[in-house]
Amino acid sequence: MALRVEGIVQGVGFRPFVHGLATRLGLAGYVGNDAAGVFAEIEGDPETVADFLSALGEQAPPLATVDRVTVEPRPCQGTAGFDIVASPRGGAASTLISADSATCDDCLAELADPADRRYRYPFINCTQCGPRFTIVRGVPYDRPLTTMAAFAMCAECAREYHDPADRRFHAQPVCCPACGPALELRRDGKPVPGDPISSTVDLLRTGAIVAIKGLGGYHLAVDARDDEAATRLRSRKHREDKPFAVMVPDLGHARDLCEVDDLAATLLTSRRRPIVLLPRGRRAVAEAVAPGNRQLGVMLPYTPLHHLLLGAVAGPVVLTSGNVSDEPIVYRDDEVEDRLGGIADAFLTHDRAIHIRTDDSVVRPFGGREQLQRRSRGYVPEPVITATGFPDHILACGAELKNTFCLAKDRHAFVSHHIGDLENYETLRSFTEGIEHFQRLFDIRPRIVAHDLHPEYLSTKYALERDELAAVGVQHHHAHIAACLADNGESGPVLGVAFDGLGYGSDATLWGGEFLLADLVGFERLAHLAPVPMPGGTAAIKQPWRMAAAYLDATFGAEVPETFANRPQWQNVVSLARSGVHAPLTSSAGRLFDAVAAIVGIRDTVNYEGQAAIELEQRADPTETGCYRAGLTGTDPVLIAGTELIRSTVDDLRRGVPTPVIAARFHNGIADVIIRTCGVLRKSTGIGTVALSGGVFQNLLLLRRTVQGLAACGFRVLTHSRVPTNDGGVSLGQAVVAATRC
């Protein structure tokens, strides 16, 4: 019989697995890769063939995912033995590509064995681990179509590659010190003599900043215990306050730094090796690593090079994206010294090319499951399987901030790696190159392009420039809720609560505190925060005190407390807000958080997106149960009085209530008004399921209070898991909405 196996079955040792299984069962035939996946011919008695088919899914290699096995009866040819055949070129690409995977235990054992020929070789890999997505140039997944094509296998590696009994049988990136990539440490434009790993460790111990080439790009590394080095890295990278991620040698070191429960341990040690956001523990890193933050982003080594470095350092190392703030991660060797030369003191590089840049993924445990904050290395390009499917090929261009794009066909939504904020040429180039790569890799030829409604987003402009495609505009907050539905395998309708910084509304105002009756086709805006002016437009995002001025004026008018009204430029900004000139109305929940952060003195200006709200959460006392209360007025839509939360904040300030208590009462007040508003809307709609989405729900304190309160009121609550709740999930929402409309 003829078999067709679809799923993640290339680059994961699936052909060797099939070969070994068929050989053990005494079956004859062959197996091979092509652009559509894995094909095979099997000959043997029916009972044994049935055992073979059962084992395909049940015993598949760790990195494999079998989506479908198609069987077609064929007459026996009298074939002797079982072979792996050459991969034919051409055909429609429909196979799936594995994400990059952390070094497996077998390879680690060889790495540490002085008697092994790959002892301390920093590029050791096998069919169970190593680079995949970041080195693939095309399909089928064979060495000539990867960046390993530049390295001819030595006789010993070739023997392993062709030996069905070997763990590296048909492992495409197979290599060794005799024939594979090599490390080089460079300083002042020249190679540093000696062992590159030992020299790099010495540099880190003496406070140097080292650019280290990883799977998907360069990282910038310093000793995480060295406050002076971390401070110098902040200065050179122009990253004033945003926390750095830390890599530690093993799970024990992670437990020293953070509170690690069973789920967190599973996430840290998974083959995906994301950055995991965890509560800080008893042992500290340098203050400059994550100033004022109760959580720390921690990850474990995921390449042999990381294991060798961290094993020698024997402590935590800052490992942050190799870029200047707001630029994409550097991944090309020919540009690294130009772009990072003003930051790094030395460069630990190698000659295996990275085909596509990919940042580290970021996750956190919540509600007993993994919740993605940034979906990238280790997860991409594995698709999100949707319940509704895509009758046509679709490109969704995503949002402006935390951009991802999505290419979709059949039931597969290929949400891209994290692109970043589309605010400069380099990031836009990464966006367009990524789309072209995904189109080739998965043979997706879109006929529909979905985009945000904001006319000034670069993603929108790109979509509309593709005039050969049918354009579908999707409102930003509808896309958020649709993404949450797709994430959970549902189609609605739901009460969608979309809270974020801002998004372009269908009435041309700036939304962000929305309650929608939504499904995958459309939505109705049922309730929202009462709008206030945003004086100075985008200037108010970087200067939260402007939002404080707008909210205080809306709350108190001429009776604004003198402590605020006498500040420089205060009256000018209030006048701007009242004039409506360069002061668009916004219902944004994120801007309300900004206003409160400024009012209580936490943050007047920000250095990164969402900083004021993040720091307000960090200051909140999680044991405080007091709650500010916002009134609800009207019915079509229901308006939520954010000004009443502002009034309560100011009243407590006047009474001398500590900032942590005020911050907690405000958070509790936001959760309370979400719960009460959903209760009102349930009565009018009969809908008892709530979907929570938008960047504001990255706030763990708010999310926990909201989910608990809604559940206590009998609601079924949907939150994100497979794609981020922030704008990184918007492209998925756009894609599923476009699919249902066309």
Kindly report, residue by residue over 224-281, the tens digit of the pLDDT: 999 999 999 999 999 989 999 999 999 999 999 999 999 999 999 999 999 999 999 9
Mean pLDDT within 84-89: 77
Q: Indicate whether 59 belongs to any domain.
A: yes
For residue 92, pLDDT over 70 is answered with no
Task: Supply the Cα-derived Rg of the chain in whole angstroms.
Answer: 27
Query: pTM value?
Result: 0.93
- The model's confidence at residue 109, banded by pLDDT at 50, 70 and 90, is very high
How far apart, in whole angstroms, are the C-alpha atoms of residue 324 and residue 339? 8
Would you state the pLDDT for residue 423? 86
406, 424: one domain: yes
Q: Indicate whether 402 belongs to any domain.
A: yes
CA torsion through residues 204, 209, 211, 216, sign: positive
Q: What CATH number is associated with residue 41?
A: 3.30.70.100
Mean pLDDT within 91-105: 82
**Contact predicate 410/734, CB 8 Å:** no
Q: What CATH number is associated with residue 400?
A: 3.30.420.360
- What share of the chain in percent tops pLDDT 90? 80
Q: Which residue, 458, 268, 406, is CA-closest to 733?
A: 406
448-452/384-396 β-pairing: parallel
Kindly tell me the burial class for residue 297, based on how many C-beta atoms sit within 10 Å of its own C-beta (0-12, 13-18, 19 or more): buried
Render 113-181 in DSSP notation, one character per residue.
-TTSTTTT-TT--BTTBB--GGGB-SSS--GGGBGGGGSPPPHHHHHHHH-TTSTTTT-TT---TTTS-
Mean pLDDT within 444-453: 97
- The model's confidence at residue 142, banded by pLDDT at 50, 70 and 90, is confident
Q: Indicate whether 125 belongs to any domain.
A: no
For residue 96, pLDDT over 90 is answered with no
517, 608: one domain: yes
Could you identify the residue written with the tokens 């392009």? 449
444, 555: one domain: no
Domain end marker among 28, 62, 96: 96
How far apart, in whole angstroms, are the C-alpha atoms of residue 577 and residue 598? 17
266, 336: one domain: yes
Q: What mean pLDDT is reported for the chain?
A: 94
For residue 93, pLDDT over 80 is answered with no
- The model's confidence at residue 153, banded by pLDDT at 50, 70 and 90, is very high
For residue 660, pLDDT over 80 is answered with yes
**Contact predicate 460/672, CB 8 Å:** no
629, 734: one domain: no
Q: Indicate whether 153 belongs to any domain.
A: no
Domain end marker among 78, 96, 114: 96
The residue type of 427 is: T
> Each residue of 110-125: pLDDT tens digit?
999 999 999 999 999 9
523, 475: one domain: no
563, 479: one domain: no
Q: Indicate whether 509 belongs to any domain.
A: yes
User: Going by C-beta distance under 8 Å and a sequence separation of 6 or more, which residues neighbour residue 570?
Assistant: 549, 564
Would you state the pLDDT for residue 56? 87
529, 678: one domain: yes
Q: What CATH number is associated with residue 216?
A: 3.90.870.10
- Which helix H or strand E contains 318, and what residues bound it? strand 317-321
Would you state the pLDDT for residue 684? 96
Q: Indicate whether 110 belongs to any domain.
A: no
Domain count along the chain: 4
- What share of the chain in percent tops pLDDT 70? 99
Q: Which of 6-20, 208-222, 389-403, 666-680 has the lowest mean pLDDT?
A: 6-20
Full domain range(s) for residue 281: 183-350
Q: In sequence order, what E strands does 622-735 have?
A: 632-633, 638-640, 689-693, 716-718
Domain end marker among 96, 115, 148: 96
Could you identify the residue written with the tokens 């792996």? 84
329, 308: one domain: yes
> Each residue of 615-644: pLDDT tens digit?
999 999 999 999 999 999 999 999 999 999
CA torsion through residues 577, 582, 588, 590, sign: negative
**Contact predicate 612/588, CB 8 Å:** no
230, 290: one domain: yes
708, 625: one domain: yes
CA dist 543 to 234, 350, 400, 494, 612, Å? 21, 42, 20, 35, 9
Q: Which residue, 490, 441, 542, is CA-closest to 740?
A: 490
Q: Indicate whether 630 belongs to any domain.
A: yes
> Each residue of 481-510: pLDDT tens digit?
999 999 999 999 999 999 999 999 999 999
- Token readout for 492 is 């609605």
Mean pLDDT within 701-713: 98
Q: Which residue, 671, 674, 648, is CA-closest to 661?
A: 648
How far apart, in whole angstroms, are the C-alpha atoms of residue 595 and residue 646? 8
Mean pLDDT within 347-372: 96
Q: What CATH number is associated with residue 529?
A: 3.30.420.40
573, 663: one domain: yes
Q: Indicate whether 467 belongs to any domain.
A: yes
